[in-house]
Structure formats: C-alpha cells, structure tokens
Structure 1
Amino acid sequence: MAKCYDKENKDYLALSNLLKAKTTYSLLGKDEEVNDINFDIYQLLFSRADKDKTYKKYLDKYIDYVEEKHDSLKLTKGFLAKGIYKLVDEKNTVDGKKYLEKALKYNENNNDKNLKSTINRHLAFMYNEYLHNQDSALYYYKADVKYLKEIKDIENLCSNYVNQAACYYYLEDNKKAIQYLHQADSLPLEEHKLVTKQYIYEFLSINYEELEQYKEALYYLNLNQKYRDSVKSKEQDIALKDIQTKYQTREKELENQVLKSSVKSNQIMKYTFLGLLIATIALGWLIVKNARRREKISLQEKQIEQQKREKALKDFELSSIDLLIEGQEKERQRLANDLHDNLGSMLATLKINFENLKRNTTEGHIPDTKLYDKTDDLIDEAYQRVRRLAHAKNAGVFANQGLIPAVKKLADKVSVPGRLTVDVLDFGFDGRLDNTLEFTIFRAIQELTTNIIKHAKATEATIQLTQHDDDINIIIEDNGIGFDTKWSGKKDGMGLQAIIKKIKYLNGNLDIDSTPGKGTTIIINIPI
C-alpha cells in the first residue's frame, strides 16, 4: 500500500502505511523487516522538498543494524544513501566522498554491478560539480562505461558521454569534448530522443565555436533549433496523424458500404421494415425511461431539500458550540487577569506587612496587633479569592506556544517511563495556523490522548501531524487493547462524538481502525 501511494505522490498516506507495517513487524519480532522499513521511510522523507531533519535518524538506525549484522549488501546501500545525503543536503563533500568510497569498498564483497555503477556516477558528479576536479570525474565516468555497454543501457551511456564531454570542455580540450558528443549522437536512443539530441547539438555548436570553426558551429546550431522546434511540434504531429488515420479508416468503411449496397439491394424492404419495428420499440422504451427519469429527479430534489435543512440545523448546532468555546476562552482570560491584577497586588501588600513584622521582631519593638490583624485579614481574603479562581485556566499560554509545541508538551506530560511513551512527529508546519483551528485540533488530540490513557492499556503511542498545501493530516496510533468501532458510534456527550462533529464542521473526516487486542489507529484529515 505504501509503495502504491508513493507512486501517486501521496507521501503522507505512504508514510502512514509504512508506520503501520513497522508496528506490525515489531509485534511479530521481525527485526530485519523493521529495519528495511526504516530505510524505506528514510528514502520517502529524503525525496520530499520540505524535509524535516528528523528523517536522518531512520538512516542511522538502518546503518547501525546492518553493521551489527555485517550485511555487506545492505551496508553498501546504506553508505551510498548517506553519501548522497551528505552531498545533496549538507553540501559536505568530505563526508560525502568518505561514505561513497566506503560503499564502493563494501560492494567489492557483493560484486553488485548495478550498485557499483550508481556509486561511480555519484562520485563522478561530486568531482565534476562540487570539487571541480574533472580528471577524477572522468576516471569514474570511464569506469562506468564498460558496465553500461554490458547491460546495453543506452540512455545512461548517452548521458555518460555527454558528461565526459562537459568535463573535457571545462579542461578546455574542445576536440575531446566534440569526440564524445559525436559518440553520444551515434547511439540509438529510444526515450527522450528529441530533447537529448537538442542538447547534444547545442554543446557541439559551443565547442566548435571555441575552436573558431564557425561553419560547423552554425551547422549544429541550426540542428539544435530544428530539434527544439520538433520537440514543440511533436504532440501536434501525433494528433494530426491520429486524425488522418481515423479519416482514412472511415473513408475505407464508406467505400466498402457502397460496394456492399449493390449486393444487398434486394433486402432493402426487409431491413426497412425491421428498422421501423426497432425504432417503434426504442421510442416506447425511451418514453418509459424518460418518465422514470423525471420521477428520479423529483425524488433527488426532495432529498437535496432535506439535506439542506439538516445542514442548516447542524450549522446552527456547531455555531452554538463555537460560541460556547469562545465564551469559555474569554472567561478564562478574565480569570487570569483577575489573578494578576487583584491577587497579585494583595500578595505584594502581604509581603510588605511581613517585612515590617520581621523588622519589629528583630529590633525588639512591641508587636503591633493591628498589623497582625490586618495581615491575617489579607491572608484570609487572598485564600477566598484563590478558592474562587482555583479551576480557571489561562488559554493564553496555548495561544503563545502554538499547536506543535503544545502537543509536544502534552505528550511529555502524559508519558510515564516504563509504562507509556508518547512520540510526536510533525512534518511541514512552517508557520502558525488560525487560532481557532489550532485550538480545535489541540482539544481533539487532548481528548484522544486521554482515551488512550484511560482505556487503551497501551505502552507506546505516536501522534503524527502533517501539513500539506491543501489539508492537515493527523494520525494517532497506540499498541493497546483496541475496541469495537461499532460501539464508538453510539457514545454521546463531549467525548469522541463531540470531536467527530467538530471535525465534520471543519469539512474534515475522522476514520477509526481498531480491532480488539490489536491496537487503534485514528486518522483525521482537515482541509485548510
């Protein structure tokens, strides 16, 4: 499933299925399969444009495991991936070169020619693009040619020749560059032929110009323009050929019909009668179908009216919930201000009184009973105010922190070493969301986390939040005892049903995947 979603560029669904597979393999004690999935997760996250640096830990876990098992083939893949990561993400050519060479060394035990070819290409790319050492780049490009010829990989062989030509161009050896460009041009390409030829001729023109051979430079410049125009008109040519083929086919059919009409002239009356009979039956069938269609449309219109009424009622109910939440937040803010303004000044006065009492005691003065009484009254009044405000909570703290820090703080609070571990993974949250949306999502996660603590008997839970361009995806998983999902739909109150209603009001959806004894996965999708 993860591979299918990856092919459709649905990264968050691919990641969700990989995490499910990893959890299942963990429960089965399949450590090797778990480690293979770590590598798959790394490759998936590495390919994303909005990388989160946490993806690197999956590659490190993979390499640690295969080093312990002394698996040279998987070590080759791991070091190759780490070398590419160092070059592409960190622009660290020293470490990138080190890991690519380690991959090459471990591959000597496997003699995997395909892996060796891939490593050579990346080493050549590093020397040419980052280190500007064309001689070393040429060494690895040339080392790869034999294998590409052996497997008849024409596309990569052509790319190899063009890259060698680029190296010679940087070395100011234009004749060599021209030689390898002609070799690339001579290959029988099947894929991307027009585009590749276009660039080959452009590079040939540039190299001939450097040699002041302007006639040849102009010749290949014209060829470059010709192929560039061909690329643009290729789709039009295909469309015209398709139309022409259809026209010729239809013309041939008409010719056959004319020839056959002379043979079938004696059957015209019979076919005419049969045609009239078929037309009559068809007309009657159309009349009946039209009547049924009108009846169906009328029924659909009634259903639409009913849905509109239900939606209006639902909107009113959810608007009432919003007003209730807004009122609660304002009341909590008011209580917090009251604590700061009133109780704060009262405690400051108490502090001054205690300092006076202390000073009188140390200086040997007679205790001032009025000061004692006044201090006692202040303490009593402060106590009464604290009691009144004891259950107020200040939502401003959440507003200042934002969604992700608040969720991580929640996970840290509910995690109990040795009993329950809650991990939070977030991807793509570069900025703040609307305050109401953040608050709604946090309350939903808080309620679902509370359910895990109260009912799931889980030892591990994961909260994964992913922000895409169009929606937010939340996946909450645990390895607890699970439950019957039919029961969850019957429960009323401010629990799971309240969360479902709020998510639906935001045009989102909530899916529950749970089986007794096998844990629970809840997936929430909310459009932005």
Structure 2
Amino acid sequence: MLNPSNSDSLNGYIHMKLGWQYYPDGGNDSAGAFHYRQCLKLSDNPRHLGRSAFFMNMIHERSMDSAIHYFKIAEAYQEQTQDTAYLFHLYRNVSLVYQDHGYFQSAVDNLLKALSLAEAKEDQEQLADTYITLSNLFHDFEDFEEGKKYARYAMELTRSLPPEYWPYQRDALNVMAINFDDNQEFDSALYYHKLTENLILENNSQATLDRTLNNIGNTLKKMGRVGPALTYFLRSYDIIKQIDSPIIHYHKATVFTNLADIASLQGRQNAAYMYLDSAENNALTSDNYEKIRDLYQMKYLVNKRFGQTEAALTNLEKHLRLRDSVLDERNARLVKDLEVAYRTEKKEKENAKLQAVTAEQDLALNAARNRMLFIALTAGLLLLLAGFGYNGLRLKRKAEKAAAEEELQKIRFQSVIETEERERMRIAQDLHDGLGQILATAKLNVASLEGDQKGNEEEELITRSMHLLDESITELRAISHAMMPEVLRHKGLQPALHELAENINLSMQVQVLLQADEEVFERDKTRQSSLYRVIQEVINNMLKHSGATRIHLLLRRAGAGVELSISDNGKGFDTASIEKGRGLGWSNIFSRIRLMNGTVDVKSSPSGTTVYIKIPLEEV
C-alpha cells in the first residue's frame, strides 16, 4: 500500500487513490481521469505522479498525442523512482499505441525496452507476454519470419509456466498460427489454430474462443474450403452475440465481413449485402481504422463479384482514401518529429555555447566546441536517416498509388466491357424479335401471292423477292448470333467455341482444329464472354489477313492458370506493327486480357502466326 510521505500533498494522494478506484478497478475512464489529473496538479511525490501519468496513458491509448504526452511524464518519474514494475507495463502499453497508429520502429523500440526490464528481473510471465506482443507486432507489419521467431520463443517459454498461466500458451500458439496464415503457409496455420482451439476447450474457457474459431474459418476460406469455413464463422458468431463488451463491435465486424465474403463466393447476393450492412454498423461503432478500411475493401470485392462496377469503384476509392489519410498523418508526424529533433539539438548547442563562454580555461572551451561538433554531426546524421525514412515512405506511397490507379483503370475498363456486352445482347435481341419478325411476316405475305394466275414476269418477281427475304433472314440471324451467341449465354464457353469452329469449317476454305478443356470459367459468365470475344477477334484477324488454310485453337488448364494458343499456317506479319499502330481489335484483345491479369505473346513468321495467352486461374 502507498502512504503519503512528508513531502506529499495529501489532496494529491487522495485523488490518486480515488482515481485508482474508478480506473482500472471500477472501469470508469472519465472519473478516473479527473482524479489522476488532480493528482498531477497537486502532488509533488514522484512515485504518485509517475503512476497517475501511467494510468492517464492507458486511458488515452486511442488518442496518440495524449497517450504519448502522459507516457513521457510517466517515464520520467518512473525512471527517477526506479519503479520498474510500472515502467515495464508503460513501455509495453505505449508500444501498442505506436503499433495501432502504424509507427513500427517506435513500437519495436519500446517493446525491446520492456523486454530488457523483463530479462533483468528474469520474470518469466513478462518475458512470455513481451515475446507474444513482439510476434504480433512483426505480424502486423508483415515481417512474418520475425513474427514466427518470437512466437517460437514464447511457445518454448510458456511450456515451463505453471498450469494457471495457460492463456500465455494459448496466445503463443495463436500468434504462431496467424503468422503462418498471412505468410500463406495454410497447413501449418491450421495446425496451430487447432492446437489453440483444443487448449481453450481443455480448460473449459470461452475467452477468445470466438476469435480462434474465426481464425480457423479464415484459414479454411483461403484454402478454398468454403463450406467448413462457413461453419466456423457461424460458431464464432454464436459466441459473440452473447457477449456484452465495449470491444465486441471490433470482433463482430470481423466475423460479419468474413460471412459476407463467404456468401459472395457462394453467389448469395442478398445474404452478402446483409452481412456487409452488419459489418459496417459494427466497424463504425468500433471506431477502428483497420476494421473500417477492411470493410470498404470487402465491399469493393463483393460489388466486383456481382458486377456492380460503379459501387465497386466507390468503395475502392473509400478504402484507398482511408489508407492514404493514415499515410498522410504518419508523414506529417514524421516531419513534426524531425522539426522537434532539430529544435532540441539547436537548443542544446546554444546551451553548450553559453557554458563554453563562461568557462575560464581554454581546455573547457575546446571541450565544449567538441561537444557542439558532435551534437551537430549527430543531429545531421539523425536528420539524414529520418530523411531516408521519409523518402522511403514517400516512394512506398507512390508505388501504392500507382497500383491503386492501375486497379481503378481495370475497373473502369471492366465497366466498359460489361456495358458493351449488355448492349450487344440488347441489339441482338432487338434484331431477332423486331426486324426478324418483320422479315418473317413479309415472307409470309409474299408467299401468299404464289399460286394465283400471274404472268411469268410476276412469278419471277415473287420468286426473287422470296429469295432476297430468305437471304436477309439468314444474314440477320448471322449478325444477331455474332453479336451474342445463344450457345455462349446458355451453355458456356466450350460449346460456343465448338459452334464457332463448325461455322467456319462449313465454308470449306479454312479448317479450324479445336481442343478445349471443360469449362475453365464456369462460375464467371463475364470472363467467359470476354475470352470468347478475344478468340473471335484473333480468328477474324487470321481469316481476313493471313491467307491461312488451317487454324489450330488450344484452350486448357495448365498448373495454376489457363493457357490459350491460337496458331495459323498463313503468311505472317510484322509484330512490331501491333505496338506502333495497335488498331481497335488488338487494343481490345490486350485490354481484355490485362483485365484478367493475363499476358499476351504474339509470334509471327512467313510460315504462320501464333497468339499465346496465359491467365492466372486464381484471378478468375
């Protein structure tokens, strides 16, 4: 128990004790903060001041400026009083504040200070906690090998802890699992997730079980095991909905986002949007940047899967704007830190100069000058290093912005393609239902004139008219079919390609040899249509310009992708002309394939041309 010393202000001590009762004991942040502030105003006891500032740091952990302000006060007093127990937790807490706001190096620096204190005391519990926190930190900043290293340290240490410390073992297993998961080592991730689940169940605990079940579902989803993943997500939600906690909105947002992802992968559009609405409500209530950012990213993916291009574009821009705002904040803070560091060094130099002037001996003067030179060099080095850091952030942001712009360009082009396909379908339907019916009716009317007593000239005119009407109907059907083949709409890509080849072969001038695997895009009609247009355009170019008598078309699955090869035995052409001119046909071919993250390679010689296209399967 803490007692007021002679130099203590009794009122300050009383306020500290009252603050303690409200927070952390009573969970009342605002009342606790009031009393801790009064203690900081009234007390002159360094220990009481340090602990009041410590709890103020915890209360303000979501406001970075306030948290860092009270951290510096607490650190100064706790170092003065050698209050190492509180100092350990102070460094740990402030590292989490830096981590939440994206300051990786500051987070690591403070955690390593906490680790040093734990090692000095040989405190096994604090060591385990710090290893787990370091593993989490490296995971969040995507250094998964370091994350696994510290998780391994934690796992080795927690095995020797008494049974009542099993939650540390649970957290060590969990952080190992999530590092494997985000490093795309899914089998290992699933193994450690299941160990975590078993440990929780063995100890008859519900604490964090919802998160573990959600993590297992997430790993299964990434492995393509959608059904089992959905089961785990629903089990997680069954637990979460019974919990009443201020932080539960964060976890609900996570589960609802995953459920929306699963529903969209299964084609359940209404369910996907229902889950997204719930995810958005909880993400906004949690006021967590990461959850809100991830929400807009998932809304973009769901919109894109259901062909809602404008909504997808809007949500992608929200996602990027939110991410960029954090980058701007980090850059602004970096500049501010540089400015503070510069002013601090400048003040130190001025103090050193003042001390040198008042010194009586030349030796002291020279020493002061040396100190000034050292400080100046150090400051310059710090500024230079910080400048490199800032420049690195700027270059990273520039690269991210370029990637985002490329993604936006893909979405815009996809919108154009989808609009074009809808328009093709509409025109084809209008030709068939409108003009086609008119021509059919006209033929019936002309046919009704046959058989009457007419002269030879009239009979010949009726016969010619019937022949022209037959040709017009045939041509109309060909145009309508070319714009939107019925077989493509109703049966898929492979049957449509067989029909295309058969129609060309009927001409008896060019032979098309077709080898096509079973449906490679069976769940994605948009990409089926897009690839069909590419094949149609390439073959039309060969029929018009190559003089070929044989065309070989090969479409197959190959490894993790789809390969398409179209070759002819024609006269070839200069492939450089594609880049120089690139008419509308080639432009559409390259754009459509780029939209599917594929590649196009054209090789030509006097003995023929081959167009080779490869599309990663996971992108379709």
Q: TM-score, normalised by structure 2?
A: 0.34
Larger radius of gyration: 1
Structure ranking higher on relative contact order (CA contacts 8 Å, 6+ apart): 1
Q: TM-score, normalised by structure 1?
A: 0.39
